[in-house]
Structure 1
Amino acid sequence: MQALREMLGVVTVLLLVRRVPPGRLDLTRATAQQWNDGLARDTTLQWWELVDPAADDEHPAAALAAVRGGDVVVRLAGLAAPPGRRDRAVQVLLALVDALRATSARTLEAAPSGDHPGAELLAILREAGFRPDADGREVVEL
């Protein structure tokens, strides 16, 4: 597939978000460890990955989002993306919001480690549609 893309000069790849299948959890944690070690160690998280659907199962995700599930409120625990690829972090969040709209969840709340997101994370959240609620938390209504 990569050779075909190079032959055709196609550089844009369609990336989709999906819940990480059980068989990819080890690869997901290894990938996250490279980008965000603390996030990778939390075994209670539900992982979502931004992937090329044509790639094989050994190909790492383009970006990762980790959440703590809930029936109505889902909490974003963190993001992992390659260094310098803020666009991928935004893309995985936008796709995650779309995917969660098909569930019973009504709100995605950013709950990164620490009380307040740093400036870079806040900029990513805002670009992905998060806004402060009445309590000052960053949320997206689904």
Structure 2
Amino acid sequence: MNVLLLARRVPPARIELTRTTASQWDAELASDATLQWWELVDPADDDAAPPAALAALRPDPITVRLAGVATPVGRRDRAVQVVVALIDALRATPARTLEALPTPQLQEILRAAGFRPGPEGREVVEL
């Protein structure tokens, strides 16, 4: 049976757990205190359960920037899932574009989630 996972902005009470989890998956991303975190979670789990995947953003009212994705090793599927769910969640906001700088690790994930080439070497998806 597949577990239903949902993406949500990390609530303040879970930010410490988020940073601890992210540091295990991507220490560089976890060390940036300016990021807004989104998590992929099983809504039936309690608040002490770690997320299945994380996405880090640099928020902006119109153009949101994806700073990175953190998942357990070998879980590319979860990375795609959190980015797709994030895109859906951002469509309910005033933001119009989600963009990312494609690193070698992120390129396949971005394309699988619906990103396309944009200006200045970035990958973009219209919201």
Q: TM-score range by the shorter chain?
A: over 0.9
Q: Deviations over 1:38-65 (max 9, x none)?
A: 0111111000000000000000000000
Give the one of 88, 103, 115 matched to 1:117: 103
The alpha-carbon deviation at position 136 of structure 1 amounts to 2.7
CA distance in 2 between counterparts of 1:51 and 1:134 reads: 33
**Amino acid in structure 1 at the alignment position of 2:103:** P
Give the one of 105, 112, 117 matched to 2:95: 105
Partner of 1:23: 13
Counterparts of residues 75-114 of structure 1 (less than 5 Å)? 75-111=65-101
The alpha-carbon deviation at position 121 of structure 1 amounts to 1.3
Structure 1's unaligned 5+ residue stretches are 1-10
Partner of 1:33: 23
SS where residue 37 of structure 2 aligns? strand
State the TM-score, normalizing by the size of structure 2: 0.97
**Amino acid in structure 2 at the alignment position of 1:138:** E
Give the one of 27, 51, 55 matched to 1:65: 55
1:127 equivalent to 2:117? Answer no
Partner of 1:8: none
Q: Deviations over 1:15-47 (max 9, x none)?
A: 000000000000000000000000111111000
Q: Deviations over 1:60-112 (max 9, x none)?
A: 0000000000010000001000000000000000000000000010000014x
Partner of 1:4: none
Answer with 1 or 2: which has the greater Rg. 1
CA distance in 2 between counterparts of 1:91 and 1:36 reads: 18
CA distance in 2 between counterparts of 1:60 and 1:70 reads: 27
The alpha-carbon deviation at position 134 of structure 1 amounts to 3.8
RMSD, matched Cα: 0.9
CA distance in 2 between counterparts of 1:56 and 1:134 reads: 42
CA distance in 1 between counterparts of 2:119 and 2:21 reads: 35
